[in-house]
Amino acid sequence: MNTRQIEYFIAVAEELNFTKAAARLYVSQTAVTQQIKSLENLIGSPLFIRTKKKVTLTEAGKAFYREAPEILEHIDSVFTHTRDAALGMIGSIDIGFTADIKSTIFPDRILEFHRMYPNIQLHFSSGNPSELLSRLKSRELDIIVTPIFDQTCFVGIAHKTMQRSSLTVVVPFNHKLSHQRSISRQDLQHEKLILACSPDSQVGEDRVIINPFVKAGYDVEILDKIEDIETVLLMVSLHMGVSILPAYIADSNRNDKRVVAIPFENGKEYVDNALAWNPEHSNPTLEQFISFIIDET
C-alpha cells in the first residue's frame, strides 16, 4: 500500500465518480482505476460498487474511508519527523557540565537554543572535568561544557573555546594577602595550596597550576586535591590553605563572605571554557546544537 493509492481512494470516495476524481487529481481515469484495483487486491475486498449510473462504497470501503485520512496524516507525520530528525530539528542531547557554569555565557546560550528548538530534549548531568571527559569518550555524554587546562588531554576530542576566564586566588577574608589588588606566584610560594581537581587530575588542572611555580623556582606545598568546590572553599575559610580557581567559580560564590577572590598575576593567567564533543559521534541534533551555540557566541 502506498500513499497514492490512499489519496486516489479518498478522491473517489468523496466524488463517487471516477471521472471527477481523476480530474481532481489531474491524472487519467485509467490511472485512478488501476490504483483502486491494486488497493482492492491488497485488501482482499471490493471497496466500491460500480454501476453504469453510480458509484457507491461497500461496507469495507466505508470502513476504510473512516481510517484513510488518519493513515495519510500519520504517514505525513512520520515523514516530517524523519526529515526533522535527519536535519537535527528533533531528538535529544546529553550534556555534561562542571560546577558553577551559571556565571559563564553557557546558560543563556542553552536557553536560547531551547527556545529555538523546543522539540529537542536536553538532558543535563554534572561532574568534575576528569569525570566528564571520561563519560564523553565512552559516549555516555554527547557533549560537555568544561574548562580546558591541558590541550593534550583532549587528543581525539573536538573542542571549541567559547570563553576565557581569568584565574583568581581565593584566600580567607582576613588573610594577609586579602587586601592586595593582585596576587603573584611569589606571594604564594610559602602558602599551602588546595587544588580544585580530582586526585588523579586526568585533565591536567594540577600541572597547569603547579608547573609554573616549579619553573620559577618557587617551592609550593599541595595540601590536598578536592573535587567539590564547596569543600575547597570551606577549607580555605578555615585557614587550611588557599586555592587558585577560575573567576567564574569565584563569581558564583561571591556571597560567601568567609573568603575573598583576588586576581592572579594581574589577571594574565586564564583558563578556557569550551564545548567538547566526540567527532565520531554521529548525531544531527548534536550538530545543530554545536552550530547554534558557536554562532551565537
| Res. 147: pLDDT tops 80 | yes
Quickly tell me which residue has 482482499 as its cell: 44
Residue carrying the nine cell digits 592586595? 180
**pLDDT at position 211 over 80:** yes
Question: What are the backbone dihedrals phi and psi of residue 282, each rounded to the nearest 5 degrees, phi first?
Answer: -90, 110
Distance CA 98, CA 143 (A): 12
Residue 210 scores a pLDDT above 70: yes
What's the pLDDT at 143? 94
d(CA 94, CA 278): 12
pLDDT band at 297 (very low <50, low <70, confident <90, very high): low
DSSP state, 136? H
Write out pLDDT tens, residues 280-290.
877 788 888 99
**Each residue's pLDDT tens digit, 29-81:** 999 999 999 999 999 999 999 988 899 999 999 999 999 989 888 888 777 77
Asked if residue 296 has pLDDT above 70, the reply is: no
Q: What's the confidence (pLDDT) of residue 16?
A: 93
Pairwise CA distance, residues 282 & 142, whole Å? 10
Question: Looking at residues 111-132, what average pLDDT do you find?
Answer: 89
Q: Which domains does the chain have, with CATH numbers?
A: 3-86 (1.10.10.10), 100-274 (3.40.190.290)
pTM assigned to the model = 0.67
Pick 296 or 107 by higher pLDDT: 107
